[in-house]
Chain A
């Protein structure tokens, strides 16, 4: 069964750090670009970051650039999001998602989603 399982969310003070993980099962992580998408309480979806299949190419939304780092360990089928200098506006459910396509041609529509992990930034 194809599954993405996020973990690592929680309550953190402004300026603090968290590291999110996404355990992948049911498909070879190394063949696919992966992304993080977030949703603030009661709000819409916001793309956060994407990483290419090999990990060499990474992209970020302007709102998190310089503070968040996406990475992957294909040998452990795990995706990560290191979040530093957290702000109240980073409060959201963070979803791990799989991009369509494969290692040769990435389609940045997201066909597999995890259940999400909640990050709350508050003092």
Chain B
């Protein structure tokens, strides 16, 4: 089973700053099958990025994904108040459904 390790566990930033979140896989991901989700308190997750770098429908362009192989990054260019949330990565190439990382919390500094 592919294990995803997200870092840091918590990121404390101010609105307007840039956020950089990391997701590292224990094995190289097939076809860069890596997704990112945002989850706000009390809400269901929302798909942001799939295929490592493709934005999902209606996702603002301040969100971008990059990386390949085992190392992937989610960047938020300028944090808006509504971006403070928990972010999960998911690999979906090794098996249907795949596995999720443990999450990174982006909190207001």
List residues of A whose CB falls within 8 A of some B CB.
33, 35, 37, 44-50, 59, 61, 95, 100, 107-111, 113-116
Q: Are A111 and B56 in contact (CB under 8 A)?
A: yes
With contacts A45-B100, A47-B97, A111-B56 taken as known, whether A95 is within 8 angstroms of B50 at the C-beta atoms is no
The prevalent SS among residues of B at the interface is: loop
Total contacting residues, chain B, CB less than 8 A: 24
Contact A114 B35 (CB under 8 A): no
From known contacts A95-B44, A95-B45, infer whether A44 and B88 are also in contact, taking CB-CB under 8 Å: yes
Q: Which residues from chain B sit less than 8 Å from chain A, CB to CB?
A: 33, 35, 37, 39, 44-47, 50-51, 56-57, 88, 90, 92, 95-103
Instruction: Please determine whether B47 and A35 come into contact, CB atoms closer than 8 angstroms.
Output: no
User: What chain A residues lie within 8 Å of B92 (beta carbons)?
Assistant: 107-109
Which residues of chain B are within 8 angstroms of A95 by Cβ–Cβ distance? Answer: 44-45
B97 & A111 in contact (Cβ 8 Å cutoff):
no
- Which residue of B56, B57, B96, B101 has the most chain A CB atoms within 10 A of its CB atom? B96
What separation, in Å, do the CA atoms of A3 and B79 have in the docked complex? 28
